[in-house]
């Protein structure tokens, strides 16, 4: 802040000199005007912080000066009116126009100095406070804009949620809701504030809701529960609603109110029940189908087993027929191979061996069957399209699993005996 400027508006040179003498060592920049018009001009050009104003002047007196400037409480300057005796009426007029400081003639040097200092300090302090107020107001305005933007964003965000959402105050009346809530209950958004659930729901539902709200505020634990509400538009005449609720806090940490969301699960419940009914029906149908498949499988097995002897008699030729129709060894080899495979097909040995739970692999069962019909390791290897050593490996495993590892028993003889015992069963 620069050197304070003081404007003296008076047509008496003696007054100019007295004020200049009183303030010459106080560090002020003094300006002088001989009448009201000059004073107004200097006031607007120089922006002084203090004006000493005489009431009696030939060209625009002090009253005219005050009327022109329209002194306000937040003006950047103070006005001190210089008066003489017998001017009480004018003083009242000056008070009415905002002047609060007066200096009576004859002037006192000490009074001039003290009054100037007090008025300037008061005005400087007033201007600083005004600047602080303006600064605070700007901050408040900025924060207000931010809060409004945040509230608008939050409201848009809440309105974009398709689920009805509402807010209740501590008195359990609705203080706000999203668009889905208003649409669901057919209430205009500007009419929702102040509504209670007694105004929205049937009495029985509203009573339960109030009880739940009171429990929520008392325990302050989130709630989730279902309520059935009459709804003529729904199939069955009612809606199934799920309520999710929690309390929110105020600035002091107390309960500020309740926020809740409502989910209509009527269609979901109906679909779930239909799916459960269909699932149960499918379960029974599946069980019936399993029984039918087992019966068909058993019937086919019995028919196949019964037909095996006939197949053997019809397909396998007699030795006499072989001698009559076969000439070359190759022909006999092919036919023997066919007879070998037919013999395997018509035998239940592999099936019975697999059912004995001896831990035999499919390859070991196949090797056992080839041993049963009398094939050598080499012949078995050709039949299975593997190496001879592989057949020997499976034969060794068969002896172990059949308990013949340390027995001096012929493997084929044991398998034939086993096949005979299985056939009897």
84-115 pLDDT per residue, tens = 866 778 888 899 999 989 998 888 899 999 99
What would the pLDDT profile of 41-90 be if each residue is shown by its tens digit? 999 999 999 999 998 888 898 999 999 999 988 899 999 999 886 677 88
**Chain segment 183-231, per-residue pLDDT in tens:** 888 888 888 888 888 888 888 888 999 999 999 999 989 999 998 887 7
76-98 CB burial, b ≥16 within 10 A, e <16: ebbbbbbbeeebeebeebbeebe
Provide mean pLDDT across the span 281-307.
68
Stretch 376-387: mean pLDDT: 87
Instruction: Indicate the pLDDT class of residue 158, thresholds 50, 70 and 90.
Output: confident
User: Which of 324-328, 370-374, 412-416 comes out lowest in average pLDDT?
Assistant: 324-328
DSSP-based three-state secondary structure for 104: strand
* Residue 157: pLDDT over 90: no
- CA-based nearest residue to 61, from 34, 97, 35: 35
- The mean pLDDT of 317-338, rounded to a whole number, is 56
pLDDT of 281 over the 50 cut: yes
Confidence of residue 314 (pLDDT cuts 50, 70, 90): very low
Please list, in sequence order, all residues whose beta carbon lies within 8 angstroms of the beta carbon of residue 72, skipping any fewer than 6 positions away. Answer: 98
Over 60: is that where the pLDDT of 28 sits?
yes
As a whole number of Å, the CA-based R_g of the chain is 57
Q: How far is CA 264 from CA 216, 226, 241, 316, in A?
A: 21, 10, 5, 75
Tell me how many degrees the CA angle 154-172-267 measures, rounded to the nearest 5. Answer: 70
Taking alpha carbons only, the member of 236, 1, 244, 16 closest to residue 121 is 1
Omega before 106 cis (within 30°)?
A: yes
Mean pLDDT of 117-145: 92
The pLDDT value recorded for residue 243 is: 93
The proportion of the chain whose per-residue pLDDT surpasses 90, expressed as a percent, equals: 35
pLDDT category at 311 given cuts 50, 70, 90 is very low
Q: Are 401 and 360 in contact (CB under 8 A)?
A: yes
Residue 353 contacts residue 360 (beta carbons within 8 Å): yes
Residue 365 pLDDT grade (very low, low, confident, very high; cuts 50, 70, 90) = confident
Handedness of CA 375, 377, 381, 386 (dihedral sign): positive
Q: Does residue 298 have a pLDDT over 90? A: no
Higher pLDDT, 33 or 352: 33
Per-residue model confidence (pLDDT) at position 74 = 86
Length of the chain (residues): 425
């Amino acid at each position: 802040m620069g050197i304070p400027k003081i404007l003296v508006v008076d047509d008496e040179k003696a007054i100019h000199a007295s004020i200049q003498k009183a303030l010459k060592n106080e560090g002020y920049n003094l300006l002088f005007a001989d009448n009201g018009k000059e004073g107004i001009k200097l006031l607007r050009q120089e922006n002084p912080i203090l004006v000493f104003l005489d009431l009696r002047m030939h060209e625009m007196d002090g009253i005219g000066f005050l009327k022109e400037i329209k002194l306000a409480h937040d003006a950047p300057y103070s006005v001190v009116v210089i008066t003489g005796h017998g001017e009480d009426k004018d003083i009242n007029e000056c008070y009415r126009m905002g002047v609060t400081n007066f200096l009576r003639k004859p002037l006192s040097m000490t009074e001039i100095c003290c009054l100037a200092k007090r008025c300037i300090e008061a005005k400087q302090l007033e201007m600083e406070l005004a600047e602080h107020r303006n600064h605070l107001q700007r901050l408040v305005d900025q924060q207000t804009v931010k809060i409004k933007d945040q509230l608008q964003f939050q409201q848009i965000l809440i309105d974009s949620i398709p689920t009805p959402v509402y807010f209740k105050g501590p008195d359990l009346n609705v203080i706000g809701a999203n668009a889905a809530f208003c649409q669901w209950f057919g209430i205009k958004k500007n009419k929702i504030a102040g509504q209670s659930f007694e105004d929205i729901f049937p009495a029985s539902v509203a009573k339960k809701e109030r009880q739940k709200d009171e429990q929520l505020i008392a325990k302050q634990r989130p709630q989730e529960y279902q309520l059935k509400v009459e709804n003529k538009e729904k199939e069955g005449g009612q809606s199934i609603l799920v309520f999710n609720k929690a309390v929110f806090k105020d600035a002091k940490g107390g309960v500020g109110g309740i926020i809740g969301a409502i989910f209509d699960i009527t269609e979901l419940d109906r679909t779930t029940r239909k799916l459960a009914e269909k699932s149960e029906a499918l379960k029974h149908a599946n069980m019936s189908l399993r029984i039918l498949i087992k019966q068909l499988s058993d019937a086919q097995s019995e028919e196949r087993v019964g037909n095996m002897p006939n197949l053997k008699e019809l397909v396998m030729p007699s030795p006499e027929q072989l001698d009559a129709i076969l000439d070359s060894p190759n022909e006999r080899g092919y036919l023997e191979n066919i007879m070998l495979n037919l013999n395997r097909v018509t035998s239940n040995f592999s099936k019975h061996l697999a059912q004995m739970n001896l831990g035999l692999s499919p390859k070991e069962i196949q090797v056992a069957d080839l041993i049963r019909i009398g094939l050598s390791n080499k012949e078995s290897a050709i039949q299975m399209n593997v190496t001879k050593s592989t057949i020997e490996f499976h034969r060794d495993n068969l002896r172990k699993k059949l308990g013949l590892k340390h027995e001096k028993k012929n493997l084929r003889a044991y398998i034939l005996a086993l096949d005979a015992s299985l056939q009897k069963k």
